[in-house]
Structure 1
Amino acid sequence: MERIRVPRTGLGRPRCRLDQVIVDKAYSSRGFHAYLRKRGIACTIPEKADQQQHRHNRGRRGGRPPVFDRQIYRRRNIVERCFNHLKGFRAIAIRYEKTATSYEAAVSLASILLWARSL
């Protein structure tokens, strides 16, 4: 998360803080929530079933459930489908390119090919 850079359209250095994070249940730990809260980043993370059960078992001491917006979480599906389409290219799925620049070029080329197919 520290290495993320959001480019600006105008002058100035890239932003380092995201507006919102939409992730899956694997990132539903208290530590991750606390980290995002400390940095002032809004998050949409579904709660795991066992975490819900533990919270309910604790009763009033379990606290309130974390905020979760289904409409926002559904937008994550678009990104996941894009990843699945990109992994249809063998060189990207297996990562034949060893350097980051050549791998980024391969992903860009595959993205252009996917875009051209959709026209």
Structure 2
Amino acid sequence: MTTKHILIVDDEYDIRAVAELALKTVGGWQVSTAASGSEGLAKAIAEQPDLILLDVMMPDMDGIATFQALQANPTTKPIPVILLTAKAQATEQRRFAELGVQAIITKPFKAMKLPGQIASALNW
């Protein structure tokens, strides 16, 4: 089995660093990161990751706009997306789920459980 490649798109350095460390050490996956929606789009097109872990609240291009841009591009449309969000209210969760994302993981997340949550959501 090939190693899975995950792209983390989050404007907060600490979140990217913690998630990257957990996904590499616990999950054994290859990880790349992006600090903005536009950088994430460019990396998704260039790298074709197996999954995108996408923050919802980012300046300039938020996670929803980024997800919609990913869906509009035939190259990135098939890549599953899991949203990372601090917005845990049921109405927001439903709205995010209706977009067609693979799963939603709320912040703050437990770093050591993150790989298991991802594997479960994607049946890896």
TM-score, normalised to structure 1, is 0.31
Q: Greater helix percent: which structure?
A: 1
Q: TM-score normalised to the size of structure 2?
A: 0.30
| Structure number with larger C-alpha Rg | 1
Structure ranking higher in strand proportion: 2
